[in-house]
Chain A
Amino acid sequence: MDDTNQINEKDKKPVESTHKIGIYLWIWGLLFVLSFFSYMVDWYQFQGMLRWSLILFFMFAKAGLIMAFFMHLFWERYALVNVLLWPMTAIACFVFLMAAEFEYTLFSRMFYFFVGGGA
């Protein structure tokens, strides 16, 4: 078994060094702030594109912070990060196409099933 020699403890986990507590507290605080802002979007009743872009911005910001720091993705090697993120393109494609689909369905229903729609 000597050629499958074990690695000494020091080298075993090269990327898993612990991080300073400050970074966690910072991210924690940021998450509260962002959640508060996204709540404010509803409080002030923003409408239309502004509302949507704000909602999505805060959502992705929060998700990004959680993934990057709490889930340590920021410190992971790109091999793992890429494996995790590329499949999301399939989801993105699915979302875009279903958005087109619901518009079409809604149009069909409004046009053919509601009085005045066919006019």
Chain B
Amino acid sequence: MSDPKIDGFELKPGFRGMASDTGSDQTMFKGVHWGKAMMWIFLLSDTFVFSCFLIAYMKGRGSTPVEWPNPSEVFALEAFGVPVPLLLIALMTFVLITSSGTMALAVKYGYEKNRKMCGWLVLATAIGGLTFVGMQAYEWSKLIHEGVRPWENPFGAAQFGSFFFMITGFHGTHVSIGVIFLFIYAYKVFAGHYENGGKRGWFTTMKGDYVEIEILGLYWHFVDLVWVFIFAFFYLW
């Protein structure tokens, strides 16, 4: 396979490619759209935000001498009269992964300029995200009903409630923002803002392009990624 080229520049593979990309002029990330590079760097920064939250949680949970509630009991749900541990969480994970899959396909069809498929898949992702937020709201209300508050909880260490509401809340905020944007972009896809060279935005110079769907996709997968970590550290620990 011959290496692809950007006019006058040979794209070498692997680490040699890294060296030559870094040493080249104009762009370091060859062929990466500005917006996509920006989203990646933003996600890197956001990773640090979530890492700091989770590190704080680790420190808080690890250093409290009071007993930490057992998540598999706290988050159990009655199904057909039997308490199933972590049932709701499992469903939430299922929903989020489903939406991540539809998003990945939306990106694929976006690049193939398949307007219909792309639009429907983005819409499906948005609905998946909305379901997730709804389930989280249910989970919150259930816990609050059981007496768990950010400042106290009947099952043990008070920090349990604090970290739970803060971290899932912050993640939920990310999901909600994502859902809003998913709906907007679903509209934009259907309205054809990315067709025929793109539509120029208001008060700006940006022109629409299907790459925006990939950028949105990056954000959405990141939200899913964070959930993987929250699931492991919050519900399974």
Please give the residue numbers on chain B whose beta carbons come within 8 Å of chain A beta carbons, in ascending order: 4-7, 11, 14-15, 17-18, 21-22, 28-32, 37, 40, 44, 47-48, 51-52, 55, 58-59, 61-65, 72, 85-86, 90, 93-94, 97, 100-101, 103-105, 108, 111-112, 214, 217-218, 221-222, 224-225, 228-229, 231-232, 235-237
Contact = CB atoms under 8 A, between A and B. Distances in A.
A79 B51 contact: no
A70 interface: yes
Contacts of A99: 58, 62
Give the one of A24, A55, A71, A105 with max B CB within 10 A. Answer: A71
Interface in A60-119: 62-63, 66-67, 69-72, 76-80, 82-84, 87-88, 91, 94-95, 98-99, 101-103, 105-106, 109-110, 113-114
Given A14-B6, A58-B232, A79-B28, A106 B62 contact: yes
B110 to A, nearest CB: 9
5 contacts: A11-B5, A11-B6, A66-B224, A94-B55, A99-B62
Interface of A: 7, 11-16, 18-19, 21, 24-25, 27-28, 31-32, 35, 38-39, 41-43, 45, 51, 55-56, 58-59, 62-63, 66-67, 69-72, 76-80, 82-84, 87-88, 91, 94-95, 98-99, 101-103, 105-106, 109-110, 113-114
Q: DSSP majority for the B interface?
A: helix
A79 B18 contact: yes
B229 to A, nearest CB: 6
